[in-house]
Structure 1
Amino acid sequence: MTQIQSAAPEKPDKQSRTKFYLILSFLIPMVLMGIGFLLQKVHPFGDRQILVVDCWHQYYPFFQQLHEKLRHGGSLLFTWDSGLGSNFLPILSYYAASPLNLLAALVPDSLLREAFTVNLLLKIGCAGGFFALFLKGTFRRNDFSLCIFSVMYALCSYLLGYYWNVIWVDTVALLPLVVLGMVQLVRDGKYRLYVIALGLSLFTNFYIGMFTCIFAVLAYPCLCVFYLKPRHLAGRTLMMLVASLLGGGLAAVLLIPTYLALQLTHSVDNVFPTGWEFYENWRNLFANLISYHEPTSKDGLPNLACGMLPLVLIGPFLRARKIRIREKVAAVLVLAFLLVSCNVNILNYLWHGMHFPNMLPFRFSFLFSFVLLTLAYRAFQLLLEERFRIWDIAAMLVLAAAVFLCSYSVQENHAVYWSFATAVLYVLIALLYFRKIFTPRLMYAALSVVLAFEMFQNVKLGTETVSTSDYPSYPSSQQYVEFLEQKIDEQTGDSFARTEMSNWFTLNDPALYNYHGLSQFSSTANESVTSFLHALGLPASEAGNRYYYAGGSPITNWFTGIQYLICRTGSLLDTAHWQMLAMEGTSTAYQNSYGLPVGFVAERSLADYEGNPNGNPFENQNELFRFATGIQEPLFTPVDVRDVGHEGVEVTRGGYGIYTYQVDAAAESRILRYNYQTQTEANLYGYLSTSNTASVTVYKDDNYQGSYSLSRQPYIFPMGTYQGNETASLSATLNEEASAGGVTVYVYQLNEALLEKAYQMLSAGGVNVTEYSDTKLCGTVNAQKDGLCYFSIPDDSGWSVQVDGETVSSVKVGGAMLAVPVTAGTHTIRLTYCPPGFPAGAAISAGSIAVLILLYVWERKRKKPLLQPVPAQVVSAQAETQEEPEAQLEQEHVPTEETQISEKPEEEET
């Protein structure tokens, strides 16, 4: 039997110093994932890409925005290319703070999506490499076993199901370094790795970093039980608290501004669950631990699987007398707590920061895989050290059978059979090694073959489940749009102007196409801005953290500052208020004939506008128009239905615009159709809301005019200009599964004379922008009388306002938008932006770095570490484990690298 050396050699041997296994641990999962992408024909191996779901709408557009700032020197504090102007630090903190993203500065625009994919592969590789570092540093081993277990961590079902959520992968990859840092702090008195890894984890993604912090609270007592005597506990605990504060301090430059920004979001209003509930049958959760089945990519069970080998090794871990009872109890309690957290509503709510997430459930479940693999490696270590007994092999077989029985008839049959076969193969390999039929090299070779097959199949299933999107069409009409943006820039010169798309491609088109726009879909979206725009009839959802542009009306364009519009395909229906500027390919740019600048002087009564997001959006616009101009006559007047042309549905009217319907199940078509006619020439605008249709189509005298998507939120849309003898129709085809429901449909006529009068009034007090940058906007304004200078800029308290050099307080319009009181006359207005909390966060981060440097210099000067390693404890194995007499005295800790166990088998030595 291999013996533990009693004394360290003067020099570590070559095996203990090699980085070969760490490099392999990095490369193997990255290569396997790359092969998965190759099979999915991801570019450059085909015409597909990894941008799906939020990766399509959020992660890549914000990555593109960061790339633009890095390449052209923009500020990271604020952006005009999202949400009418937004604090960029929270966006950066959640979506784009990965250190690997800094490499984007070296990549041209034409290769940015390829760089995005390579970044993901590098993160997968880092997950494997960092887990290998954790195992190497914690268990003092440096052999091929590092590669075996690191691949299972890097390709666990959590990462295979959620890899499209690329913003989370960094922090999952960093978790092993954080835990290794904790081990070094408790065991060796070394704190720097923990501080830096924790700070980097929180900096990279505060949300997943929160899970790491919670896990650190769970893991620290376990490490104390493993390593410390009572007399060391106070000093180590104090150091742990100080190191944790330093780690958080390193990331404070992002954490504090992000925390303050999150107080403005919808999620801050969540309500604590009133009672305990279980989500799933426990057997379903256990069955989800096996391999060869599709991981959860959007909604479903928690992703817990990380391979069959760690499952069968649970048996030896629990049975082995060489593993102390307290180690077993601690590991089982942590695993059980994590598993219960995935099935109990209150624990799930607390884990997610007092919030129930939309989609992607149990976002902390990667912690379960980490703990499971760690305890499995502890058992595997005994196999390598030839401390297994025949009962350990039997325990592996029992676990394989238990997994089969638990998952049979619950999980897919093919997954159950393949998983059981894989588990039996692992048991057989362990048995052959135990019987010395396999040498270590042969054992590793056999394990590698089985594991490679298992992991490859899991990668294949994962990439197929997550799916891909079309590469050539993303972004849509990009060359045309870029050309039209140049034409708009030539038109505006150095002045500030906003542009939007007539219909969206992603929900973050301004970030994707690099223009000053309105649309934003972000977990950090300001809820008050969402409600303001929702009330005006723009597509917006407070719970969905989104608002975006879709046509609108002259009033929405005034109060959002939209002066230019790009139509990627087709043409506009609202030809009365837009003038064609340029055309390229299938795309056309338009200039707003009634456009107002980013700021204009309105009546002081504008401050009294509130708006009702749940009310009639046309009446909200009338109210905003009245408060801004002082004109009491309504700008929009309702047009009643002349007649209907429904097919296959019976509709009942409950008031103007309010209907309920019942579907005839035998009908071949299910169509809602409303016909309108005005007495004179009129520009009409519509609004239709129902949950059972994907779009609404506009007809003029039964001739198709255009259609609008209703797959997300309802909104006001232009219907075009109609003569008194022409019929305007709205038609919506109901989904096949629709049986009954409600419909809200409004059609309003715009008073053109009143619009012209108000436009002349407001444009006379428009702000002439003389200078602007990412964090500054300056201009002059000539107010005809005392009033309120309204800016189509969200007011989140980060703005500092000066009028004629004097600092003044801003006023919020509709609880969301920035406005400045002005007196009659000419004024210079200067707006400057600094994210709330940024100065304090930057000071704390700088102070934390300074403390780390001072501690390092002080330790070097004293030639003595701040904390001393705890002495290795020597315990009686018989007292705690009732082991055989020859193992009564055994070191409590695994040996250091210098005293590493020899892996040379006895046969080779002979």
Structure 2
Amino acid sequence: MERLQIPDKHRYALRALLLGMGTAAVIFVPFMLYDKGYFLFYGDFNVQQVPFYQMCHDTIRSGNWRWSWTTDLGANFIGSYSFYLLGSPFFWLTIPFPSAAVPYLMGPLYILKFGCACMTGCIYLRRYCQTGNLAVLGGMLYAFSGFSVYNVFFNHFHEAIVFFPLLLWAMDEYMYHRRRGVFAFFTFVCCFVNYYFFVGQVVFLALYWLVRFFSGEPHYAKITKKDFALLWVEAVLGVACSFALLLPTLLAITQNNRINNPSNGWNALLYDSNQRYMHILSCFFFPPDLPARANFTPDSNSQWASLGAWLPLFSMSGVIAALQAKTKRWYKTLITVLFVMAAVPVLNSAFQLFNASYYARWFYMLTLIMSLCTVTSLQREDVDWGRAIRWTLAITLVIGLSIGLMPSVTTNSDDNTKVTTYGLEKYPTRFWAYVSIALVSLLLLVIVFKYYKHHKQFFLRMATGGVALISVIYSLFYITTGKTQSDDTHNEIIPYALNGGADIHLPSDGKQFCRIDVYDGMDNLPMYWKRPTIQAFHSIVPGSIMDFYPTVGVTRDVASRPDVSVYAIRSLLSCRWLFDPINHGQEFIDSSTNQPRMPGWSYYTTQNGSKIYENQYFIPMGFSYDQYITRSEYDLLPEANRSLALLKALVVEDTDVQKAKEGGLTHFDKIDSTNYTEDRYFADCKKRAATACSSFTTDNLGFTAKATSAKERLIFFSVPWESGWSAEVNGSPAEIVKVNVGFMAVKVPAGESTIRFTYSTPGLKPGVAVTAVSFVLLGGYLYATDTTGRWRRKKLPAPPKTSN
């Protein structure tokens, strides 16, 4: 049989894919075997990535993709999950599989992602490498950098790592060969996959183009005005093609108060923690710290910042070699600019629209250029690798020994004696393990370099194998260490979460909509069970939720975790059941009083690893009031009384007083001096429950409720207010009134009424229209500009070798 011939450019990309997947398999398969087929980690990965994947998978398959009832108090599904999953082709690979299979796919998808990152890194680097094997080595460095391994914690970050090299490759294709369409296509892909990372990619692309232009790069510096204009046309068309997802997302995230946090003052010029500078420096010379477990710099306030950039085996030696070489290269200028930007807060924040919250989530782009510096230095004659490795070793030792052996004197509070300790790190055993890995990596590099001058092919094989070996070693250590930070995997997640709540059977199931509470349990546990909840760990929810919670004394930044002190909102939000996980956290019963930690709750049963308590003052969805107060009056109440006041009177915006009166409400004149005791709370709950709708059912388009009333009234629903909602009462359009600081009410007449709320994702239809038109325009652009037929490369002169 004739052997299949694979073109050179595809052969090395395929080799990189398989090598990356093989290395990743060695890393992930042992953990999958240990976790009975699943891949579970700790922290955010367990409580966000896994349940989000399964919930979104089930949502898409069921067609219920407009409004998510299991995300916090309810959320715009597209707006909330476009950041996490909806643009990811890896997520869409799960759709043909049944729901129960999705958690088992997390590990295989990671293996595929690492392999794809290796391949796309190789594709970009191949242009600058004299051999394909050198590009494969560069792809391995990029795919298994400290940034990639650190962000195993954040599953959805790897999509950006995979696709970004193709965006750079597409720009180079345009600039080197005037190849039409590929830049527009990959602009669309990167924007569609993840809008947050795309912002940083745009900044990086601008820097990349400007540095190469002003460095005199032949194919960049000599671009014509026409070709420059057409490059912009492709960029705009690429972004416009993503509007089907981008527009509804923008309309959703602009409600989030976390985006309005610009850098200013001294904090724009200097980091507020001096340890952060050391954290940034050390991340280039050592494997990454665990998120939330900063070790080298315990007080750098950089948890979850994605500070990782170490290149396995080579560390910073390739970068230092490139910077020390006398010959001018554009990437020397670019990487110098990037290092400066990493050190200046306002410049670092440019990669996230100048938001002052510290993140280094653009470092994957930096690691690609570091990989480029490394592999191109391996093919240059003006590079002194020995000096570069010595510099890398010296800096590694200085950082390691300074932190590891630095004396620190503290005063003993008991007897006022001085105590001297050595080492500034927080976890000494882990710290010295990191130092050892970094030093062993450099030692192996020295051994491999013995073959550099006289056995280049063998050197490349040894170097590639060394990168794979070190990647496996430090990744196994990193993931194992992370898994030791949580005992939830086998005690709770596998037996009681990943079973989908199959062992939970409550009398309300299938009969009555209600939310559940989890006391001191794992975040997002109800999402595993597909049950609505008041506890949620999710960064992107309706702005009305983020408006409501702070008014009752509940912090709402990345999660909704109302404390037991605001017990009244449980009844307000139709929360009937509370789960107290047996193997997690405190008990709901206070050991000092032997009573529940919230009034009005009683033990019901024990199921699925949790003691279950029932709210005896549960209020079904859709109830009404007799009185109202204005938002201004509500804001004047003591914070501790506001949640209780929400059960006494409906809060209307100051401009909606007339609507309240038309809804049959009278003003509550003495809301500031009324009784706020527990007994009064019980009585208020009973009053509200007596007015509740006889039925409340949700479906793929919204919800339907049935109510009977002796008079005209406003009915309140604890569903977050959003502009996408529309309402009908008895088939006629009805106005939705924003009430209770972020929820909805609608007026119904006397008698029996059918209330219908329908949700339409804001921006989705116009977004789809813009996408459709943009793809048509892109096709027209390709037809008009590619007159020689073909959407293939133009035969421009090859770039001189010195441009590498």
TM-score (norm 2): 0.80
Deviation at 1:810, TM superposition (A): 1.8
Aligned to 1:461: 477
Matched, 1:346 2:346: yes
- The counterpart of 2:772, out of the listed 841, 846, 850, is 846
Structure 2: distance between partners of 1:310 and 1:753: 64
- The counterpart of 2:508, out of the listed 482, 485, 488, is 488
Structure 2: distance between partners of 1:274 and 1:112: 47
- CA displacement 1:590-616 (0-9 Å, x = unmatched): 665543332123246256476459944
Which is further off, 227-236 or 585-594?
585-594
- The counterpart of 1:864, out of the listed 789, 792, 798, is 789
Matched, 1:184 2:173: yes
Deviation at 1:547, TM superposition (A): 1.4
Structure 1: distance between partners of 2:783 and 2:441: 53
Structure 2: distance between partners of 1:578 and 1:419: 55
Aligned to 2:408: none
Contact kept, 8 Å, 1:25 with 1:151, in 2: the verdict is yes
Q: How does 1:189-228 map to 2 (within 5 A)?
A: 189-224=178-213, 225-228=216-219
Matched, 1:128 2:118: yes
Q: Residues 841 and 168 of structure 1: is their aligned pair in 2 closer, same or farther, counting only changes over 3 Å?
A: same
AA at the equivalent of 2:530: N
Structure 2: distance between partners of 1:209 and 1:401: 37
Matched, 1:106 2:99: no
Q: How does 1:45-444 map to 2 (within 5 A)?
A: 49-71=39-61, 73-97=62-86, 98-136=88-126, 138-139=127-128, 143-224=132-213, 225-228=216-219, 232-275=223-266, 276-278=269-271, 280=274, 285-291=280-286, 294=289, 299=294, 302-309=307-314, 311-314=316-319, 317-318=322-323, 325=328, 328=329, 330-357=330-357, 361-382=359-380, 388=381, 392=383, 395-411=384-400, 419=438, 422-423=441-442, 426=445, 429-430=448-449, 432-434=451-453, 436=454, 438=455, 440-444=456-460
Aligned to 1:902: none
Which is further off, 27-36 or 479-488?
479-488
Q: 1 or 2, which has the higher strand percentage?
A: 1
SS of equivalent residue, structure 1 residue 381: coil
Deviation at 1:476, TM superposition (A): 6.0
Contact kept, 8 Å, 2:720 with 2:744, in 1: the verdict is yes
Deviation at 1:831, TM superposition (A): 1.1
Q: Residues 590 and 823 of structure 1: is their aligned pair in 2 closer, same or farther, counting only changes over 3 Å?
A: same
SS of equivalent residue, structure 1 residue 778: strand
- The counterpart of 2:489, out of the listed 471, 482, 504, is 471
Which is further off, 147-156 or 200-209?
200-209
Aligned to 2:622: 599
Deviation at 1:429, TM superposition (A): 4.9
- CA displacement 1:51-72 (0-9 Å, x = unmatched): 322122222221121122234x
Deviation at 1:427, TM superposition (A): 5.9
Aligned to 1:881: none
Structure 2: distance between partners of 1:578 and 1:293: 46
Structure 2: distance between partners of 1:102 and 1:839: 21
Aligned to 2:559: 546
SS of equivalent residue, structure 2 residue 761: coil
Deviation at 1:264, TM superposition (A): 1.6
SS of equivalent residue, structure 1 residue 410: helix
- CA displacement 1:317-360 (0-9 Å, x = unmatched): 45667x6x3xx2x32232122222222222233323332337xx
Deviation at 1:500, TM superposition (A): 0.4
Q: How does 1:712-861 map to 2 (within 5 A)?
A: 748-751=677-680, 754-755=683-684, 758-759=687-688, 761-763=690-692, 766=693, 768-769=695-696, 772-856=698-782
SS of equivalent residue, structure 1 residue 81: coil
AA at the equivalent of 2:717: F
Structure 1: distance between partners of 2:449 and 2:682: 87
Deviation at 1:293, TM superposition (A): 6.7
SS of equivalent residue, structure 2 residue 71: coil
Aligned to 1:693: none
Q: Residues 61 and 635 of structure 1: is their aligned pair in 2 closer, same or farther, counting only changes over 3 Å?
A: farther
Contact kept, 8 Å, 1:480 with 1:586, in 2: the verdict is no
Contact kept, 8 Å, 1:16 with 1:142, in 2: the verdict is no
SS of equivalent residue, structure 1 residue 444: helix
SS of equivalent residue, structure 2 residue 270: coil
Contact kept, 8 Å, 2:603 with 2:612, in 1: the verdict is yes
SS of equivalent residue, structure 1 residue 801: strand
- CA displacement 1:82-138 (0-9 Å, x = unmatched): 2222101122211222211123233344443221122122111111111112123x2
Q: How does 1:474-623 map to 2 (within 5 A)?
A: 474=493, 477-478=496-497, 481-485=501-505, 487-492=507-512, 497-503=513-519, 505-536=521-552, 540-542=554-556, 544-548=557-561, 555-566=568-579, 568-569=581-582, 577=600, 584=607, 587=610, 592-603=615-626, 605=628, 608=631, 611-612=634-635, 615-622=638-645
Structure 2: distance between partners of 1:418 and 1:529: 46
Aligned to 1:27: 18
SS of equivalent residue, structure 1 residue 790: strand
SS of equivalent residue, structure 2 residue 190: helix
Deviation at 1:620, TM superposition (A): 4.0
Deviation at 1:170, TM superposition (A): 0.8
Structure 2: distance between partners of 1:295 and 1:396: 31
- CA displacement 1:479-514 (0-9 Å, x = unmatched): 59434357533444xxxx023034253332332210
AA at the equivalent of 2:476: K
Structure 2: distance between partners of 1:854 and 1:788: 53
* Count of residues paired in the alignment: 726
Contact kept, 8 Å, 1:160 with 1:295, in 2: the verdict is no
Q: Which has the larger radius of gyration?
A: 1
AA at the equivalent of 1:562: C
Q: 1 or 2, which has the higher helix percentage?
A: 2
AA at the equivalent of 1:501: D
- CA displacement 1:528-559 (0-9 Å, x = unmatched): 4244245446xx323x2321466677842442
Contact kept, 8 Å, 1:767 with 1:780, in 2: the verdict is yes
AA at the equivalent of 1:309: F
Structure 2: distance between partners of 1:211 and 1:548: 31
Structure 1: distance between partners of 2:609 and 2:316: 57
AA at the equivalent of 2:365: L
Contact kept, 8 Å, 1:158 with 1:295, in 2: the verdict is no
Q: Residues 450 and 80 of structure 1: is their aligned pair in 2 closer, same or farther, counting only changes over 3 Å?
A: closer
Q: Residues 516 and 229 of structure 1: is their aligned pair in 2 closer, same or farther, counting only changes over 3 Å?
A: closer
Q: Which runs of no fewer than 5 residues in structure 1 stay unpaired? A: 1-12, 383-387, 640-747, 875-889, 895-910
Contact kept, 8 Å, 1:510 with 1:518, in 2: the verdict is no
Q: Which runs of no fewer than 5 residues in structure 2 stay unpaired? A: 295-299, 405-431, 590-594, 652-664
Percent of residue pairs identical: 16
Q: Residues 509 and 310 of structure 1: is their aligned pair in 2 closer, same or farther, counting only changes over 3 Å?
A: closer
- The counterpart of 1:36, out of the listed 20, 27, 52, is 27
Structure 2: distance between partners of 1:192 and 1:581: 63
AA at the equivalent of 2:712: D
